[in-house]
Amino acid sequence: MKSPNPEEHAAFELAMKYGKEIDADILLGTDPDSDRLGVAVKNGEGEYQVLTGNQTGAIMLHYLLSQKAEKGILPENGAVLKTIVTSEIGRVIADSYKLPTYDVLTGFKFIGEKIKEYEKTGKHTFQFGYEESYGYLIGDFVRDKDAVQAALFAAEVAAYYKAQGKGLYDALIEIYEKYGYFRESLESLTLKGKDGAEQIASILEEFRANPPKEVAGVKVNAVEDYKASVRKE
């Protein structure tokens, strides 16, 4: 293993080999400090597929809200938290249960700050927080992404669907069919050194001062400035 990074498929190679030997339903992997969780499941061809952070988050969120709603314990003032780079499927799922979803800047500390704010104001009751980079939080007794509770929760979700004769891949497809298909990709651009930092700052300031009127021929209806916490229609 070159890197114990649950975001990388290579990190699951040994687990996949052993998983095939024992016919494991799911494979779970964390990074060394156990804050990020990767989940691999059997796809439609019976091969193990590593879910993206967005996919795992969607499965967890849907299960959590559906179970609470079924048991009548979903609070009316509940709220879901995610980072600005995380898929919008979570918002669609939360909307179906009449819960708001709030975006925070990248970094799980901002989710922790919101949880603390809710405790002080009583405005909302935290339900679930996640980010696309494999970080999840179910219980607010931890204020950072926690792979330990996330792994236990993933196992619970897998057991729930297995009892119905389904796998987590089946659950994901059902979610897509119900809420719509979402696809996300990540592309990183690195600008190194002092010159790179200055170039990044210049690009962002220019973008902030002169936002695009359209993107790929599609009109821009609104621009959100997360630095200034301002939305312009």
Residue 90 has what pLDDT?
98
Q: Quote the tokens at residue 162.
A: 């297995």
* Residue 218 pLDDT: 95
Tokens of 194: 């002092």
pTM exceeding the 0.85 threshold for the entire prediction: yes
Quote the CA–CA distance of 39 and 48 in Å, as a whole number.
10
In the prediction, which pLDDT does 75 show? Answer: 97
Q: Which CATH architecture has domain 53-179?
A: 3-Layer(aba) Sandwich (3.40)
Cβ burial 159-198 (10 Å sphere, 16+ → b, else e): eebeeeeebbbbbbeebeeebeeeeeeeeeeeeeeeeeee
Q: What angle do CA 156, 56, 85 make, to 5 degrees?
A: 145
Q: What is d(CA 205, CA 77) in angstroms, rounded to the nearest whole number? A: 37
Query: How far apart are the C-alpha atoms of 14 and 19, rounded to whole Å?
Result: 8
Q: What is the pLDDT along the chain (233 residues), one digit of tens a residue?
A: 678 899 888 999 999 999 999 999 999 999 999 999 999 999 999 999 999 999 999 999 999 999 999 999 999 999 999 999 999 999 999 999 999 999 999 999 999 999 999 999 999 999 999 999 999 999 999 989 999 999 999 999 999 999 999 999 999 999 999 999 999 888 888 899 999 999 999 998 998 889 999 999 999 999 988 777 788 88
Per-residue model confidence (pLDDT) at position 227: 75
Looking at residue 226, what is its pLDDT? Answer: 78
Taking the domains of the chain in order of start, what are their residue ranges? 9-50, 53-179, 193-232
pLDDT computed for residue 185 by the predictor:
85
Give the pLDDT score at 42.
Answer: 95
Q: Can you read off the two tokens belonging to residue 209?
A: 């001062």
| Alpha helices in the chain, H assignment, sequence order | 13-22, 53-71, 89-96, 108-121, 147-162, 168-179, 193-209
What region, left, alpha or beta, does residue 162 occupy, with left being phi > 0 and alpha being psi -120 to 50 degrees?
A: alpha
Tell me how far apart the alpha carbons of residues 10 and 180 are, in angstroms, rounded to a whole number. 29
